[in-house]
């Protein structure tokens, strides 16, 4: 009897559940519903997505070939043949005159850049602007007298997790390819790709060769530039990252205005993340916000009244979870206006208005050291507020910093790095680039060098 009653209850529950389950599914009611497709969007945007080919001439060198006795013994000529290194990526046409945006890492070090359109035509291109901080570069097609199809910028701040997107590019060099997926996450700040850690994450399949290509929304607008993937195999594993279109817009605007570098607003304060321990000390429920650790005298932050230990929690009505989020939001604000920052100070909420102006960059006196010395091939500069901001140095840092290292140069082979601050050479204090240039002109059997790297002082002794 009990078994019969139980069976009856189960049957009734199935009968009750069946109608609701059936309501979740239905047969297409018309032939039109069977033909739903992304094709109209693809046809509209595909002509604006291009392939980018970058080539670099390198000499296939073996260290043993530097020895003339070795070359003579084996009958090897002194001048070795050159090789062409090729890299492949994608790009997006953003101006009818022939402006293309792509990634810096696609064209880095290239001697020649070519752009191939979707109709198979090829054009040589010149590099108009490179912005390593965002990994974005702008190219211009050469010798063109026509208007090209372009993509309009979406407002990436309005994107939502779950929105459907298309990724268009040239993966593995197979040709222009379209994949689709959704936005998996927004404001990814722990990716470690560029200075501005604020990425759109998508599961739309992205592979090598897609870099610089378009991430497009369902309105056919540019949501972002595909830049990197998380992969253990080299192929897509459903985790791709794109630079938001609002950052792309800033870089493109600088290129259109004729600038060689992107001008961004300068805060003049150093920020740090809020750890759970700091949050507990401050009496916060959650470890969010950007904590002010130092303020540069006379900077926009100082003039606005920002103080050490202030907690920045918002900018122009947008919440700030960490310093990376603030850096991105602040960097995409236009120069010349102002931004309103929400601050918590000693438990009280404040609103501060900060002027959006560029950092002072006078007196950089950047030079390349060519004299025979450990610094041969290094580009160095006096530290200005703009350079300190660019290299993430403490605001009050002074002296001479390495801004670039030439490949295969003496300085590169000895391990000097971009961001090294040169303090002294052979017991001579280095305060200006002229001091370092003078020191490197003096021949020496032993070089004693003191430098600062990542906040640590390092003493190096090298033989001449």
Per DSSP, 370 falls in state: -
How far is the C-alpha of 276 from the C-alpha of 95, rounded, in Å?
A: 46
| Residue 307 neighbours by CB under 8 Å, 6+ apart | 292, 295, 345
Q: Is 346 exposed, middle or buried (0-12, 13-18, 19+ CB in 10 A)?
A: exposed
How far is the C-alpha of 41 from the C-alpha of 223, rounded, in Å?
A: 14
**Chain-centre distance for alpha carbon 172:** 22
One DSSP character per residue, 247-292 reads HHHHHHHHHHTT-SS-------EEEEE--HHHHHHHT-SS--SEEE
CA dihedral for 311, 316, 322, 324, sign (positive or negative): negative
Q: Is 158 exposed, middle or buried (0-12, 13-18, 19+ CB in 10 A)?
A: exposed
Bridge partners, residue 164, by sequence: 182
Pair 89, 170: CB distance under 8 Å = yes
E strands, 217-357, are 222-229, 240-244, 269-273, 290-295, 311-315, 318-319, 338-345, 348-355
First and final C-alpha spacing in the chain: 100
How far is CA 38 from each of CA 152, 223, 335, 460, rounded to the nearest angstrom?
Answer: 18, 16, 38, 60
Q: Tell me which residues are annotated as active site.
A: 105, 135, 211
Pair 94, 252: CB distance under 8 Å = yes
Q: Are strands 311-315 and 290-295 parallel, antiparallel or unpaired?
A: antiparallel
Backbone angles phi, psi at 19, to 5 degrees: -60, -40
How far is the C-alpha of 391 from the C-alpha of 418, rounded, in Å?
A: 9
């Amino acid at each position: 009897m009990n078994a019969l009653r139980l069976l009856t209850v189960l049957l009734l529950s199935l009968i009750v559940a069946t109608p609701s389950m059936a309501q979740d599914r239905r047969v297409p009611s018309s032939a039109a519903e069977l033909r739903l497709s992304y094709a109209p969007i693809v046809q509209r945007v595909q002509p604006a997505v291009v392939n980018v080919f970058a080539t670099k001439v390198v000499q296939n060198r073996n260290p043993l070939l530097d020895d003339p006795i070795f070359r003579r013994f084996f009958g090897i000529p002194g001048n070795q043949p050159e090789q062409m290194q090729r890299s492949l990526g994608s790009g997006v046409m953003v101006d009818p005159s022939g402006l293309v945006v792509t990634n810096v890492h696609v064209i880095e070090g290239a001697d020649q850049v070519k752009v191939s359109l979707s109709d198979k035509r090829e054009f040589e291109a010149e590099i108009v602007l490179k912005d390593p901080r965002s990994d974005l570069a702008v190219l211009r097609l050469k010798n063109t007298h026509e208007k090209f199809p372009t993509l309009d910028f979406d407002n990436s701040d309005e994107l939502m997790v779950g929105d459907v997107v298309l990724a268009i590019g040239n993966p593995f060099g197979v040709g222009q390819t379209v994949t689709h997926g959704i936005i998996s996450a927004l404001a990814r700040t722990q990716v470690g790709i560029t200075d501005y850690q604020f990425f759109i994450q998508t599961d739309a399949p992205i592979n090598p060769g897609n870099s610089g290509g378009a991430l497009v929304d369902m309105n056919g607008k540019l949501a972002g530039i595909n830049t990197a993937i998380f992969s253990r195999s080299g192929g897509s594993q459903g985790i791709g990252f794109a630079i938001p279109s609002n950052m792309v817009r800033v870089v493109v605007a600088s290129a259109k205005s004729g600038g060689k570098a992107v001008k961004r607003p300068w805060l003049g304060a150093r920020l740090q993340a809020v750890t759970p321990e700091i949050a507990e000390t401050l009496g916060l429920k959650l470890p969010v916000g950007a904590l002010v650790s130092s303020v540069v005298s006379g900077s926009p932050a100082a003039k606005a009244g920002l103080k050490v230990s202030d907690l920045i929690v918002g900018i122009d009505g947008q919440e700030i979870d960490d310093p990376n989020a603030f850096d991105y939001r602040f960097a995409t604000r236009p120069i010349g206006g102002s931004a309103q920052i929400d601050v918590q100070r000693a438990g009280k909420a404040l609103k501060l208005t900060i002027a959006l102006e560029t950092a002072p960059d006078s007196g950089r006196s950047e030079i390349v050291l060519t004299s025979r010395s450990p610094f041969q091939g290094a580009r160095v500069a006096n530290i200005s507020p703009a350079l300190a901001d660019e290299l993430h140095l403490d605001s009050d840092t002074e002296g001479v910093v390495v801004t670039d290292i030439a490949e295969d140069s003496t300085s590169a082979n000895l391990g000097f790095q971009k961001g090294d601050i040169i303090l002294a050479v052979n017991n001579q204090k280095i305060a200006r680039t002229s001091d370092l240039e003078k020191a490197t002109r003096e021949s020496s059997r032993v070089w004693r060098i003191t430098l600062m790297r990542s906040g640590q002082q390092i003493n190096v002794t090298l033989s001449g």
